[in-house]
Structure 1
Amino acid sequence: MWVPVKHKSSGGRRPKRKVYHRVHELDKVMDFQKKPALILQLKSIIQSQKHQSLLLRDLEKEVGFVQKWNFMAAIEKYPSIFYVGGGNRTPPFVTLAEKAKKVAREEAEAKDLMEPILVKNLRKLLMLSVDCRVPLENIEFIESELGLPNDFKTSLLPKYPEIFSVKEVSGKLYLHLENWDSSIAVTAREEQLGGEGISAPSGLGNKVRISKDGNFLGPHAFRMSFPAGFRPNTSYLDQLERWQKMDFPSPYLNARRFDIADPKARKRVVAVLHELLSLTMQKRMTSSQLDAFHSEYFLPSKLLLCLIKHPGIFYITNKGARSTVFLKEAYDGLNLINKCPLLLFNDKFVALSGRREMNSCNAMHSP
């Protein structure tokens, strides 16, 4: 998704082209996820079988003819994870190697640790919406990003009838919020500022100047991370300073109350996008996934332009099958800074392949 933004020209001069600076580390994240995704998908396929093993002849039925060869290559390349048995009169099959089976048993504990995180994040997702409800198909569209199990409709939602319900509205199933919880109507940005001791205006806002990297110490500021090669001039920094100082309504207040033409309401939209990405496991979503929530969160019609206008907060990469939007502050180079229990388990399992973990120093953290 490459979108050059042209400035209007004057005096007959050729319009200048605004360069969208690439962040190569985040581009590489998309490349580096391919092998782990393949390993984890094959693990799930094997575990879903009745006897925890898959006949190789049935692999094509599970993944298709083209992808079958990628999985066959992975089976051959990682004998420490996948064991191939059979022969003579027994058709060849693949199962998890003994060491992989041992590590795989730890997944149940990781999922138990994930459940309260998932319930909280799903609740917050509904609280962000204008009617405290979201089409169920939209939740299914981002279930992997949230870390929800494939069967969350039957395994998770019925356990919390006091929080969630599924109701039909105009022929479409919606996930409804049954109870509002003011204690969690706090954004990840606010929690981070609170952890840094910045929870309310100190009266020094006018004395503190913005740094050249765009960061500003204040209760209404967003953490910035400009791409390499991005050189903001004084005028840009002055505008950014005014924007960083400007207060704005909470994303958890109903969007219908605000006029999108109001600069504070537009800043609130940035906060909504920031919070949406913060609720995902890897702090990223495809642009189509974000756009799927357009109606529920009153997102701008020109969503892409909104993201591009804030290169210190968001990054859009074309790597992978679809364009992906990253929350930049969540990454340190290639590494996701805080990982939830499920991602930590995935890292441990994939490490059996000999792949060096990209973020081995992380402590267990909820998203």
Structure 2
Amino acid sequence: MDEVSKRRMSKLLRKHAAVFKLTYKHHRAQEWIELRDFMQEIMEAERQAIRDRDEKLSVSIGASDSAQELEQECAFPVDFDGFLRRYPEDFRLAGGSRMVELVSWDQSLAVTDRERAVEAGRTQRILGPWAFVSTFPKKFEADRIFWEEFDKFQTLPMPSPYEDPGNSADPSSLSGEKRLLAVFHELLSLTIEKRASLAKFKGFKQELRLPEYSDALLASHPRFFYVSESNSRQMAFLREAYRENDRESIHGPAKGGVQGAAGEKALCI
């Protein structure tokens, strides 16, 4: 490297000293450029996101066009069809590349984010294995009837979205409603930012038996989801994924009507 290039490089490194650091090796005979620790952590997080994306693809099935609609939300590759063709042992494109099918099924990957939350203790064990992580405003107050109904819904058994085709529960029943929430919970958990436009889920309506009233369904369960509308576009958010100063996650009911009186609390993550 000539002197001009060295000066330019030195100027660049000084400008971005928070990202790069200079080290010396071989008894200071050689100068090395390294990334600082936090940048290495960011790069590792990016590599993990790519691995997570591949894992998501390995348990996906449905319309290829619909999956591509979630390209940005799920960090899918731009050449989605080309990516799938590189793994013929896992995926098959059919219907003129409009449908993607699983060639093989790996049961070990069919674990929902909600199930992992239960295993990690992010829900109160007394609510059982079918509870969602729930969030409430600080100083939330409710009567005993509210908590009884909330407990009833949280403890209601339901099948995994990966196991149930959607025909076993009437969507108008409480168990059918909870199954639909579990499907949306898993779909949103598979996105990078834990949020997505509800319009992008329309392509999965037939495969996942999603209802026409998805916005009203999610909005009726504000402890688990948040639905916003901007410029005629409805966005669904997974509540537990967003940390807010005025919100806490309650792992179980707060008896006595005042949030926090007896319930275990943790910051919403």
**SS of residue paired to 2:167:** helix
Structure 2 counterparts to residues 225-236 of structure 1, below 5 A: 225-227=135-137, 231-236=141-146
| Number of the residue aligned with 1:10 | none
Are the equivalent residues in 2 in contact too, given 1:227–1:312 (CA < 8 A)?
Answer: no
Compute the displacement of 1:167 (Å): 0.8
**SS of residue paired to 1:179:** coil
Rounded Cα–Cα distance in structure 1 between residues aligned with 2:84 and 2:46 = 15
What are structure 2's unaligned runs of at least 5 residues?
A: 1-14, 21-34, 246-269
1:116 corresponds, among 51, 59, 74, to: 51
| Number of the residue aligned with 2:228 | 317
Rounded Cα–Cα distance in structure 2 between residues aligned with 1:236 and 1:272 = 24
Compute the displacement of 1:257 (Å): 3.3
The yes-or-no answer on 1:179 pairing with 2:89 is no
Rounded Cα–Cα distance in structure 2 between residues aligned with 1:275 and 1:173 = 23
**SS of residue paired to 2:99:** strand
Compute the displacement of 1:228 (Å): 6.3
**SS of residue paired to 1:250:** coil
The yes-or-no answer on 1:220 pairing with 2:130 is yes
| Number of the residue aligned with 1:191 | 116
Compute the displacement of 1:281 (Å): 0.5
The yes-or-no answer on 1:259 pairing with 2:184 is no
| Number of the residue aligned with 1:160 | 87
| Number of the residue aligned with 1:304 | 215
Rounded Cα–Cα distance in structure 2 between residues aligned with 1:323 and 1:284 = 11
Compute the displacement of 1:266 (Å): 1.9
| Number of the residue aligned with 2:69 | 141
Q: Is the alpha carbon distance of 1:180 and 1:245 closer, same or farther for their aligned partners in structure 2, counting shifts above 3 Å?
A: same
Structure 2 counterparts to residues 223-302 of structure 1, below 5 A: 223-227=133-137, 231-253=141-163, 254-302=165-213
**SS of residue paired to 1:116:** helix
Compute the displacement of 1:153 (Å): 2.3
Equivalent AA in structure 1 for residue 76 of structure 2: L
Rounded Cα–Cα distance in structure 2 between residues aligned with 1:117 and 1:179 = 18
User: Could you list the per-position Cα deviations for residues 253-282 of structure 1 after superposition, in whole angstroms to 9, with x for gaps in the alignment?
Assistant: 221333324422221111111000000101
Which ranges of 4 or more aligned residues in structure 1 deviate by more than 6 Å? Answer: 105-110
Equivalent AA in structure 2 for residue 165 of structure 1: R
Are the equivalent residues in 2 in contact too, given 1:251–1:272 (CA < 8 A)?
Answer: yes
Compute the displacement of 1:164 (Å): 1.3
Rounded Cα–Cα distance in structure 1 between residues aligned with 2:76 and 2:168 = 31
Compute the displacement of 1:322 (Å): 2.5
Equivalent AA in structure 2 for residue 148 of structure 1: F
Rounded Cα–Cα distance in structure 2 between residues aligned with 1:197 and 1:286 = 26
Are the equivalent residues in 2 in contact too, given 1:249–1:265 (CA < 8 A)?
Answer: no
- The alignment yields a C-alpha RMSD, in angstroms, of 3.2
Equivalent AA in structure 1 for residue 62 of structure 2: V
Normalising by structure 2, report the TM-score: 0.68
Per mean C-alpha deviation after superposition, the further-off stretch among 286-295 and 269-278 is 286-295
Compute the displacement of 1:247 (Å): 0.9
**SS of residue paired to 1:292:** helix
Q: Is the alpha carbon distance of 1:272 and 1:138 closer, same or farther for their aligned partners in structure 2, counting shifts above 3 Å?
A: same
Are the equivalent residues in 2 in contact too, given 1:277–1:284 (CA < 8 A)?
Answer: yes
User: Could you list the per-position Cα deviations for residues 279-307 of structure 1 after superposition, in whole angstroms to 9, with x for gaps in the alignment?
Assistant: 01010011211333211210122111111
Q: Which has the higher strand share?
A: 2
The count of residues paired between Structure 1 and Structure 2 equals 212
Compute the displacement of 1:147 (Å): 0.7
Are the equivalent residues in 1 in contact too, given 2:228–2:234 (CA < 8 A)?
Answer: yes
